[in-house]
Amino acid sequence: MDTSAPSLSRRPARRFSAGWLLLPSLTLVLAGLVLPLVMMGRTSLAVFDPGQVANEGLTLENYTRFFGDPFYLWILARTLTVAASCTLVCLVLGLPAAYILTRLTSPGLKTALILATIIPLLMGNAVRAAGWMVLLSDRGLVNSALLYTGIIVEPVRILYTGTAVVIGLIAVLLPFMIISLQSVFEGIGEIYEEAALSLGARPWAMFFRVLLPLAMPGIFSGCLLCFVLAVNAYATPVLIGGPSFQMMAPKVYEQAIKVYNWPFAASLAFILMGVTFALTVLSSVTLRKRYGMV
């Protein structure tokens, strides 16, 4: 007597019933992400009328206004440049930190360093930005230390500049890069390094020709996460950059809340999202052709 037939016949039914477990999460995604995007897309095509609360009509005027104005194109270029610069610096700083953190042999020291990396993420961006304002102001800790040591004779303007925004964003994004790379290095055994070194490869050659290609998926994930967060940063550019330093996310807030031009604000958000998505796809395809791993 075959006792396995009933159990095999029940497997499709079990899989079908298990599929219902995805329904709450899919509903949440549709309600919290897809539906607002659809509504925002419709709003971006509406005609702005200051005298009406509801925006009606269909037009591409909001998009043509953006691409036809050098001022907004310059803001987009600055946003992408700042995001790319912060991502590159985070990669340069986070790569050796994550590698050393992974190869530590002391469990206690390793745990302490991981906690030190994660603890800054427990504070909000506004709190960290306020701390950088205290450090980088004209009479802040940095200028006071430079004046005391005699390196400078008068305060240097650091706050409310692009340099201050980059510093603040790097401080926010670096933990994400380290955590992303550390998880990948954990999965790469030391046997690959030992094999390359035993075959005569120098440490730098081993790193760039063996370890780096193996870690490329984590590098791509960390860079993508940092880039997206930097492109959409709001608190740091506003608090540290000041009103004269323009980026896309604060501009979206300004058009929506201060000017009440919701159609143009929605078009700005869609343009920023579209450019970010296009760059992500382009980099993913490039890395797939180069390494075949991403």
pTM for this predicted structure: 0.82
Distance of CA 187 to the CA centre of its chain: 23
Q: Which architecture characterizes domain 72-291 according to CATH?
A: Orthogonal Bundle (1.10)
Domain locations in the chain as residue ranges: 72-291
Q: Which amino acid is at 175?
A: P
Tokens for 4? Answer: 């396995």
Q: What does the pLDDT look like over 90-146, one tens digit per residue?
A: 999 999 899 888 888 788 888 888 888 888 888 877 888 888 888 888 888 888 888
Tokens for 284? Answer: 């993913």
pLDDT score for 283: 83
Around 78, how many Cα atoms within 13 Å sit in the side-chain half-sphere? 22
Tell me what the mean pLDDT of segment 164-187 comes to: 90
157 dihedral zone (left: phi>0; alpha: psi -120 to 50; beta): beta
Report the distance separating Cα 254 and Cα 79, nearest Å: 16
Dihedral sign for Cα atoms in the order 220, 221, 226, 231: positive
What phi, psi does 154 have (nearest 5°)? -150, 155
pLDDT score for 215: 85
pLDDT score for 12: 53
